[in-house]
Structure 1
Amino acid sequence: MELRRNVLLISSMMFNLINGAVLVVFPLYLLSITANDYLIAALVTGLPLSAQVLGNYVWGRISDNLHTRKKPAIVGCFAGSLLFLLLPFASAVSFVVIRTFQSLLLSSQILLQNLVSDTTDNKGRELGTLNIFANIGVVAGTLSFLFLLPSDSLTFEYISLFSIALTLCGLIGTFFLCFSKDVKFESGNHVLGKHTKNKTILILFTVTAVLMWANYTVFSLFPVYISIFHVNIFNFDLTGVKLVALFIGSSSLFGIPGSYVAGYLTDRKNKKVIIAVSIVIYATIWILLSMVSDVVIIYIIWVLPVWLFFVLPATALASESVVLDERGRAIGLINAGIGLGALLGSYTAGTLVSHFSFSFAYICAGLIALLALIPLYKVDSPRRG
């Protein structure tokens, strides 16, 4: 892989280092300053991701219209990175609002997928490689808290230093992005919504939104759920934020080899079948999660890199279904489905946990996941990518 593509991998790693760190800290921080408001804690994950409903599509459309992927990505990532500096001074509600607007800007990261996939026929392999580095970033961003966090107290000083560190990571990622190879292309004669395969894109958007609705019913408050456990490993106490860091970091660690396997299968097997299997596995593990309380079993369930066997074939299938100058919008729509599902899932999680329990929320998540199989039936997938 040439140097200009390698810098994309570094950019992806830095941006996902941010994503991993944010997943660990922000829900618990808001929980601590709002007297255990579970809905706010869920929305600080869900609302920023829901901003991708608009952001992923808009950035994809901008890049399609400008016939360039690189410049819009640089602008969005640079501006979004600077907003971390405002967070320590924000109230709980303002914090969520800033994070949501920031996510709208940082969703320009989606164009990294276009920069990687637009110039290759081996989309599964290349996207898998990008995901390997993304997972390395998440591992670095989460597991670092096992050593850098002195206590479970998330003070103003800590959040301030944390925000500065995230800003620097974002600027470094943007810096490397400047040296990537841009994709130049001319306008085609197709318009999204009229191309013969755009039905596939809309169906994949629906499948993604439903599955992520289920998943974020679990994901959005999982850091809060797992923080109540206590684990001692080799006389090293893990609880609260540190235990959350271990779980999320380990999941991404297993995602590194998982990315290679998922990319390999995406290029060689029926993508629709891979997606269907991943949906069934998700439904199974969420229902199983509602039935167990042993932290070791929960850990085993959590670290399974099932998401890769959905995201990679869905993204590759979307890319194959349209011409080059529509791919920004197509991949953006698939990722917008993630954002829409995150919004629905976060609200569902906050409501169900507040009025019922985590277990009940996880059972509902499993049942919702199965609904994604209904629209998937209509997808026509080629066997090879």
Structure 2
Amino acid sequence: MDNYLKILFSSLVLSTTQGMLFAFLPIYAYEISGKFASAGYIFSLPSIILVIMTFGWGSISDRLGKRKSVIIATNIIASLMYFLFAQATIVWLIVLRCIQTFFYSSYILVPAIITEYFPSSKGRALGKYNVATGLGWTIGAIISGHAAHVGFGFFFAVTGCLSVLFCISFFFVKDLPREKDTRKFKEFLIFGESKRILLLCLYAFVLMTGGSMLSSLFNVYLSNLGVSKEFIGYVTSLTSLTFLLVADAVGKACDNWGRKPLLLITPLLYMGMWLGIGLLENLYVKILLWVLPFYALFITASTSAVSDLTSNKERGRGIGILNSSIGFGNFAGGIVGGNLADFFGPKNTFLTASLFAVMGFFISLKMEETKEMTIEA
């Protein structure tokens, strides 16, 4: 099997686990605690670990000149922790999820490997990667409702087994040789086009803060309206299916049109989505808005842009710090969203999220196109 196909298959398997968790981990946290805030915490507190460790694993892999071995070793540990979730209280569930995220977060090295394989067509390569992850999320979301209906012990066991399968399949991926970055620590922290990377990270943080205010609560909101677990799983599968359908086209658009047009339009699209979910009363229209695949534009364009702004030996840190910013946004949005929903209700929380889309749009106006840049290794 072609090495790139091995990466895509492994990513599909790993994304299946995330599709399952995205649909039901907040619901499980809400069921065992009775609070929206717990659904926010199970989403947000692990995200603060992502803030640190996505950059941390990127830096470690740049130092070692290795990515594959870091991914496998850390995800073996993360896989085993799923088998403890069903026995945990809400406090221990959050603690275990945070520890697991510490190890799982090395997954951000996968797109770093892909951009090294395809330096001149990053957008297309990442587009196909997003197709694989979207398919995995779709599969995970479809089976999640049925697995949760059997029981959450069974649900977490299935998730753990799939995570182990990812580690096994990724073992057969060939890691490219790369130069170690052995500069002194202070020099090591300065990489790429730093000012432009920081602006991109600010954009990602703001936009994902708004996004996680919804994503940490929407399935809980549906559950409280009496929507069945199976139907919630199908709704989540639609979010990943629409992502899957557009991912390859978005990758091509990113290479053909550049990164900035996609980064510019994404917050405007999110603003319309979040306002609609908050203002409209029809549940099916809310769901229709929820499944629109605007995240594909954001993640493809932002990952391509940060790859443009870093050399091969800096790529792990570049993608790592971008994902740290995304994680910080998820942390902030989950905390704010969960507590706002407890005090003011989910609908008002959804409306508040649109303010972050407005801020993201104004930040995007300050960005410059990165597509034509080439940072030498």
Alignment check: 8 A CA contact 1:67 1:187 kept:
yes
1:22-101 counterparts in 2 under 5 A? 22-34=21-33, 36-101=34-99
Cα shift at 1:150: 4.1
Mapped to 2, the partners of 1:39 and 1:195 lie a distance apart of 38
Q: C-alpha offsets along residues 3-26 of structure 1, whole Å, 9 cap, x if unaligned? A: 222111111111111111111222
Cα shift at 1:189: 8.7
Give the TM-score, by structure 1 length.
0.91
Change (3 A) 1:265 1:189: farther
Mapped to 1, the partners of 2:112 and 2:307 lie a distance apart of 9
Change (3 A) 1:30 1:148: closer
Mapped to 1, the partners of 2:236 and 2:295 lie a distance apart of 13
Cα shift at 1:377: 3.1
The alignment status of 1:163 with 2:162, answered yes or no, reads no
**Which deviates more from structure 2 when the two are superposed, residues 62-71 or residues 239-248?**
239-248
Amino acid aligned to 1:19: Q
Change (3 A) 1:65 1:188: closer
The alignment status of 1:130 with 2:129, answered yes or no, reads yes
Q: Which of 166, 179, 184 lines up with 2:172 in the alignment?
A: 179
Mapped to 1, the partners of 2:343 and 2:76 lie a distance apart of 40
Tell me the equivalent position of 1:289.
Answer: 277
Tell me the equivalent position of 2:293.
Answer: 305
Tell me the equivalent position of 1:236.
Answer: none
Amino acid aligned to 1:282: Y
Cα shift at 1:240: 3.2
Cα shift at 1:383: 4.7
**Identity level (%):** 24
Q: C-alpha offsets along residues 2-53 of structure 1, whole Å, 9 cap, x if unaligned? A: 622211111111111111111122211121111x211111111222233210
Tell me the equivalent position of 1:11.
Answer: 10
Change (3 A) 1:383 1:72: closer
Q: Which of 288, 306, 310 lines up with 1:322 in the alignment?
A: 310
Mapped to 2, the partners of 1:196 and 1:329 lie a distance apart of 9
Aligned residue-pair number: 369
The alignment status of 1:369 with 2:364, answered yes or no, reads no
> 2:117 is paired with a residue of what secondary structure?
coil
Cα shift at 1:128: 0.9
Cα shift at 1:129: 0.7
Alignment check: 8 A CA contact 2:66 2:175 kept:
yes
Change (3 A) 1:84 1:148: closer
C-alpha RMSD of matched pairs (Å): 1.8
Mapped to 2, the partners of 1:97 and 1:183 lie a distance apart of 35
Tell me the equivalent position of 2:321.
Answer: 333
Q: C-alpha offsets along residues 75-116 of structure 1, whole Å, 9 cap, x if unaligned? A: 111111111111122110110111011011111111111111
Cα shift at 1:188: 5.9
Amino acid aligned to 2:166: G
Alignment check: 8 A CA contact 2:142 2:234 kept:
yes
Alignment check: 8 A CA contact 1:16 1:135 kept:
yes
Mapped to 2, the partners of 1:333 and 1:383 lie a distance apart of 19
Alignment check: 8 A CA contact 2:223 2:229 kept:
yes
Amino acid aligned to 2:78: G
> 2:59 is paired with a residue of what secondary structure?
helix
Alignment check: 8 A CA contact 2:145 2:232 kept:
no
Alignment check: 8 A CA contact 2:192 2:318 kept:
no
Q: Unmatched 5+ residue regions in structure 1?
A: 152-157, 231-238
Tell me the equivalent position of 2:342.
Answer: 354
Change (3 A) 1:337 1:290: same
Query: Which structure carries more helix by proportion?
Result: 2
Alignment check: 8 A CA contact 2:134 2:240 kept:
yes
Q: Unmatched 5+ residue regions in structure 2?
A: none
Tell me the equivalent position of 1:203.
Answer: 199
Mapped to 1, the partners of 2:80 and 2:101 lie a distance apart of 12
Alignment check: 8 A CA contact 1:228 1:240 kept:
no
Change (3 A) 1:188 1:98: closer
Change (3 A) 1:142 1:374: same
Alignment check: 8 A CA contact 2:122 2:304 kept:
yes
Amino acid aligned to 2:22: L
Cα shift at 1:312: 0.4
Alignment check: 8 A CA contact 2:191 2:314 kept:
no
Give the TM-score, by structure 2 length.
0.93
> 2:366 is paired with a residue of what secondary structure?
coil
Q: C-alpha offsets along residues 280-302 of structure 1, whole Å, 9 cap, x if unaligned? A: 11012101111112122112101
Change (3 A) 1:375 1:192: farther
Alignment check: 8 A CA contact 1:267 1:384 kept:
no
